[in-house]
């Protein structure tokens, strides 16, 4: 049995997996910490929570619309490149 292992590809996939898990855990921990703190029944934390919600609702997409549109286009481009990569790896390119 002759198994070909591309170490570079292996390294890329391992790195992507580790970074994904690590960033997921850190994001979850931060979000959970903020959620627990803002959910507390303390009067002043309640005022802060409502104030944060009001500020979030006041954000206008018009101010960041252009940047968000560029990010979406880049995501589409990345998806396209990924699909072409997959075609290339499959020998169809």
Least separation in angstroms between residue 46's CB and another protein is 18
Task: Give the dihedral sign, CA 15/21/24/30.
Answer: negative
Under 8 Å between Cβ of 61 and 68:
yes
Q: Does 90 bind another protein (CB under 8 A)?
A: no
Residues 6+ away with beta carbon under 8 Å from 49: 38, 39
Q: Does 75 bind another protein (CB under 8 A)?
A: yes
Q: Indicate the length of the chain as a whole number.
A: 93
Among positions 15, 16, 19, 68, the unique one binding another protein when judged by CB under 8 A = 68
Q: Which residue do the tokens 């499959």 mark?
A: 90
**Stretch touching another protein by CB under 8 A, among 21-29, 31-39, 42-50, 80-88:** 80-88
Binding positions for another protein, rule: CB under 8 A: 55, 58-59, 63-64, 67-68, 70-71, 74-75, 77-78, 81-82, 84-85, 88-89, 91, 93
């Amino acid at each position: 049995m002759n198994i070909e292992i591309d170490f570079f590809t292996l390294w890329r996939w391992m790195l992507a997996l580790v970074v994904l898990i690590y960033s997921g855990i850190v994001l979850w921990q931060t979000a959970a910490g903020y959620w627990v703190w803002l959910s507390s029944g303390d009067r002043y934390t309640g005022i802060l929570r409502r104030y944060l919600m009001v500020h979030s609702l006041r954000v206008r997409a018009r101010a960041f619309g252009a940047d968000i549109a560029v990010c979406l286009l880049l995501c589409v481009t990345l998806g396209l490149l990924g699909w072409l990569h997959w075609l290339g790896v499959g020998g169809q390119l």
